[in-house]
Each structure stands twice: as C-alpha cells, then as structure tokens.
Chains A and B, each alone.
Chain A
C-alpha cells in the first residue's frame, strides 16, 4: 500500500470517528463554560443513541423512508435535552454534587434504555434500522486531486454538519451577547448576577444544550456506525468526548482538533495492522493514546488545560 491510498482510508475513517465526539464535546462545552461539570455526556449519548434508533425504526414503519434517520436525529436532540434536565435539576436547583449527579445520569441512561429495549423487543438489542444515512461524495470538491478523496469522498453528511456546527458554536460562545453571558456565569456567577444575568436560568439552558448535542452525538453514532442499539453501543465515547473537551481547552476549535485527533487514533487502532510502518506497534497504544494525552494535557505537559473558574460549584444567591 502506498502512502496516498493509506491516507485515503485513514482520513475519512478518522473524520467519521470524530463526528459523534465532536457533537457531544460541543454540547459539553456549553455546559462546562456555564460552570456545570458534565460527566453525564456518556449517558446523554446513550439516551441519544437509544432514541435515535427507536425513532428511526418508528418512522420507517410510518413510511417515512429515507427521511427517517434525519427526523430521528431531531427526536434524539429533544430527548437528550429533556433527559439532561435530571442533571440540571439535581445540580443547579437541588445543589447536588455535579459529578455525582453526572455519574447517576450515566447509570440511569444505561438502565432505562436497556430496560425499555427489553420491554419492547424482548431481548437485549433493538432491530437493525434499514433507512441509513449514506456516505456521499461532495460534488466538485471530491474531484480535487489528493484532497478530494481524503476529505470529500464517502463521508456522511452528518460529519460536515458537525464541523460547521463547531464554527457556529464558536461564533455563539465568543461573538454574541448570549455567549458572553454564558461564559460570565461559568467564570464569576456573582458578578454575572450583579449585572442582572439570571445565573441559574443560563445554566439550565447550557445543560439542556449539552443534552441536545449529546443526544445528536449518540444518535449519529448509532445511525451511521452501529445500525442498532444495545447496552454496549455506547461504551466510552461520551467520556472520550469529555476528554476532547478538556484536551481542546474548552474552545470550539480546540475541541474540533482534539476530536479529529482522537478520531485519528481510533481509525489507526482499527486499521494500523494494514499499514506496514504501524503494524509493529501494539494496538493497545492506539487505544490508550487519547486518554494518556488528556492526562498529559491536564498536567501541563501539552499546554496547560484550565477550565472555567466557577466550574463545579452550585450558585447560591447572596453567598460569598
């Protein structure tokens, strides 16, 4: 295999693997920028994958055909946002420990979705969906030599949506009044409150956004890659999205880079055996690479990752 054909396999695979991570991590960015830790991203992806597959199957029986998975993504978005309310109510209104509440959310998501799958399908997994989101070649762009086959051929539309979304999120968080309020609530809630920003309302919105994006992230993975839902459809992607969020230093473009990098590590761990130069490296190194890098990033070896100041603390009016 020559280097180009290797790249033609690896790069699209990396882009596709990065997509659900990017969606979910961008969601986590809203929540954490507003000062709410979201360990529950994993659970939100689980619930998104579950509702995405279920909705696709349902729309198929209604005769929606090729539109089913797209409508299902919307359903997953809404379900994710509603489900994240558990985390929001517990950690914002009831001042629960945000990490514990996130852990509980993960438990609840797996328990509830697999329970429902068993009740509906009477076994541990759902049927496979038949209406899929297919890979496309982008007109014109895919004809560009070298870059075309790498970035614009045989890639899901959802991948492009995720990358466009990263730009939109950057604009919203850094260039709009809403984004300024969101960040101020995460950095110094008391100052924000003094300026008339409703701290808890902003935080609710942020957590629900993370739920919506996490739901889409999970559904995208289930619909494009897995094809059905079972208890082991989402294993660790949510935590990897969290890692991408931190490794990307809570910045949309950093998150995009981190998601791409983790996607590349994932793609390499699967196809390294076919690449002569990499075949010697045991697969385990590729598997643990994203996690080790995140630890190193946090320790400051790969540039210090520092989160929003007020992260993890519930806001009580009048407290100092």
Chain B
C-alpha cells in the first residue's frame, strides 16, 4: 500500500467514526421513540422539518450554531495543547456579561463600540481561562476540576453582579445600545424575522482563524507540539508552561466571544441565569464530534444546533418530548468517545473480507 493510499484510508476512518456515531445516536433515538409509543419516522420528519422546513427555522438554527461554534473552538483549541477545558460554560457566561456591560454602559460610534464590546467578552473569558491555566502550569493542578469549579463561580458571580448593579427590569439588564448590537435587519428579514445576526459570520471567521493559527504559525506549531508530547517540546526548547497558559487564555477568549455573540446578537441583554446555559458543555460535544478541526466543528455545530432547534417542532408536530435530542447528543458523545468499539468492529469486518 502506497503512502497516499494509507493517508486516504486514514482520512476515511477519521470520517467514518463520527458518521457511525451519529447513525448509532439516531438509531438509539428511534428505539427510544418506539419504546415510548411514538412513531420514529413521524418524529424525525418533524425534527428535520423543524430545521430546514421553513426559512425562520433555518435562520434560528444558524443563530443557535453561532455560540456552539465558539464553544466548540474553545474546547478544541485547549484540546490541541493537551488540555481539557470543561470551563467553557463559565468563560462564556462572564464573556456574555462583560460584553453586555460595555454595550450598556458606553456610548460610542459603532466602529469603536462593537469591537470594544466583543473584546471585553474575550478578555473576561480569557481571564477565566487564565486561572486554570496558571494553576496547571505553576502547581500542576488538573485543569478539569478547576474549570468545573470556575463554572460555578462564574454563574454565581455574574448573577450577583447583575442583581446588585445592572438590574433593569425583572431578571435582566438594560438593552445594549444599538451601536454595540450585532443585530441585522437584512439577515433577519432574509430568514423570515429570525434572530439570526452578524455573529454567525464572526463565528465562521473565528473557525478559519483557529485553523490558520494552529496550522500555519510557529506559535500554533508550538501549542500542538506541547499537546503531542510535553517532554519532547520542552527538550526542543519550547516553554511548556507558557504554552499551557496561553492555550487556556485563548481558549477562554473564544468562549468569551461566544458569550458576547449571545449577549450582543441573540438577546441584546444579559439576565440572571437560574442554571447553566449548557452552551459551553455542548461545546465539548461539538469539538469531540468535529475531531477538533475547524471544518468539523462548523459541521457538528450545525448538527447540534439543528437538533436543538428542530426539537421544538418535533414536540409540536409529533408530540415527542424535546429532551430526546439531549439523549441523542449524549449517545453520540458516548459513541465518539468509545471509538475503540467502532474501530474494533471495522477491523473485524475488514479481516473477514480479507479472509475470504
């Protein structure tokens, strides 16, 4: 087998695993629908119609994709440096609040105001990522536990700040000034008045940025090298600790911008959160299914965003509880994470074929 063939085969296996995992997830969803007395065909038809059946639904799907792309990028970026950032949720929440704060408190021309608000989100998220990064680099503390704890700190602190200083009406802050808004009448009217906003394109741009940064710059090479082998990178003269901190800060900044997209685009305000948004946790699923690649993240953000959007139509038209999509998503993560199983089945099938 030539090198080229080997490479094609690798790519094919790489593609097959997520696709098989998705198929398994949907299959399990169908079984659950059958067991709970629903018709899976009606259910899935309603689900798909809830994504592409209407321009409004499609616009809302793209709107849902936007923060998912960012949280997926955040998880993936840290993962490339060998870090598991479970704290995307918290970084996203503080980014949301910081961006909205700048949006509410300042008055400036859009060309200054909007970038500044997004930057505020990035800085807040980056700070939230800095803490686990420095603790990992300096004290070898496992980042997973710290990020989980930081999520709760973010949730409670943000809620408390809104409650004490920013409360306008009910549970939310004032609306942001229009000079900081990502709202787009054009995109909205194009999609039958959905909440689709310019943030979608920023998300695509961010995905391209991550690809460029990781694969086309020397700093990105360093980050990936640290992810592959810490000791070898250290021996080659790279500063492992700096790279760990940098990776967590950038990852947090991605998450923070994701929060800014939600605050400046979808809602135009920040509110007291009764519990987590789950946007950050879904980022783990997005990054995992997308194999931590930019294009994969965009595609899997579309899948998960679509599932979440379609769920409401599935409930309305087919009477299936919308939580079914959460089950499907959880199972897809299981199957991707257990890719050992899929690989094993694939080699068995291949051996059988070759044995003939």
Contact = CB atoms under 8 A, between A and B. Distances in A.
A236 B273 CA distance: 14
B5 interface: no
A294 B145 contact: yes
Contacts of A239: 148-149, 152
A111 B323 contact: yes
Contacts of A37: 144
B338 A108 contact: no
B141 A298 contact: yes
A100 B144 contact: no
Given A90-B334, A284-B156, A298-B141, A99 B340 contact: no
B279 interface: no
Contacts of A287: 152, 156, 160
Interface stretch (A113-121, A139-147, A252-260): A113-121
B149 A294 contact: yes
B345 to A, nearest CB: 11
A62 to B, nearest CB: 23
A38 to B, nearest CB: 12
A278 B125 CA distance: 31
Given A103-B86, A104-B330, A294-B145, A284 B288 contact: no
Given A115-B321, A243-B149, A39 B144 contact: yes
Contacts of A103: 86, 281, 284, 333
A235 interface: yes
A295 B152 CA distance: 12
Contacts of A67: none
Interface string B321-344: 101111101110110011111000
A90 B337 contact: yes
Interface residues of A, number: 46
Given A104-B333, A119-B36, A299 B321 contact: no
Interface string A97-115: 1011101111110111011
Interface in B145-164: 145-146, 148-150, 152-153, 156-157, 159-160, 164
A86 interface: yes
Nearest to B132: A295
B270 interface: no
Nearest to A269: B156
B153 A292 contact: yes
A96 B149 contact: no
A242 B324 contact: no
B323 A242 contact: no
Interface in B161-198: 164
Nearest to A94: B338
Interface string A5-35: 0000000000000000000000000000000
A291 interface: yes
Query: What DSSP secondary structure best describes chain A's contact surface?
Result: helix
A280 B288 CA distance: 45
B84 interface: yes
B286 to A, nearest CB: 12
A282 B288 contact: no
Contacts of B323: 110-112, 114-115, 118
Contacts of B333: 100, 103-104, 107
A24 to B, nearest CB: 15
A273 interface: no
A279 interface: no
B348 interface: no
A237 to B, nearest CB: 11
Contacts of A95: 338, 340
Contacts of A114: 321, 323, 326
Contacts, number: 136
B275 A232 contact: yes
A288 interface: yes
A300 interface: yes
B89 to A, nearest CB: 11
Given A114-B323, A232-B274, A232-B275, A295 B150 contact: yes
B139 interface: yes
Contact of A111 (B157, B324, B338): B324
A291 B321 CA distance: 34
A103 B341 CA distance: 19
A174 B145 CA distance: 25
Contacts of A232: 274-275
A106 B326 CA distance: 10
A104 B157 CA distance: 27
A99 B337 CA distance: 10
A307 B144 CA distance: 13
Given A90-B337, A232-B275, A115 B152 contact: no
Contacts of A101: 334, 337-338
Contacts of B324: 111, 115
B268 to A, nearest CB: 25
A54 B307 CA distance: 28
B330 A111 contact: yes
Interface in A191-247: 232, 235-236, 239, 242-243, 246
Nearest to A98: B337
Contacts of B148: 39, 239, 242-243
A115 B156 contact: no
9 contacts: A96-B338, A99-B86, A107-B281, A111-B326, A115-B321, A287-B156, A294-B149, A295-B131, A298-B142
Given A90-B338, A101-B337, 4 more contacts: A97-B337, A115-B36, A116-B36, A295-B146
Interface of A: 37, 39, 86, 89-90, 94-97, 99-101, 103-108, 110-112, 114-116, 118-119, 232, 235-236, 239, 242-243, 246, 282-284, 287-288, 291-292, 294-295, 298-300, 307
In order of increasing CB-CB distance, the 9 nearest A-B pairs are A111-B326, A107-B330, A108-B330, A118-B321, A284-B160, A96-B337, A94-B338, A115-B323, A291-B149
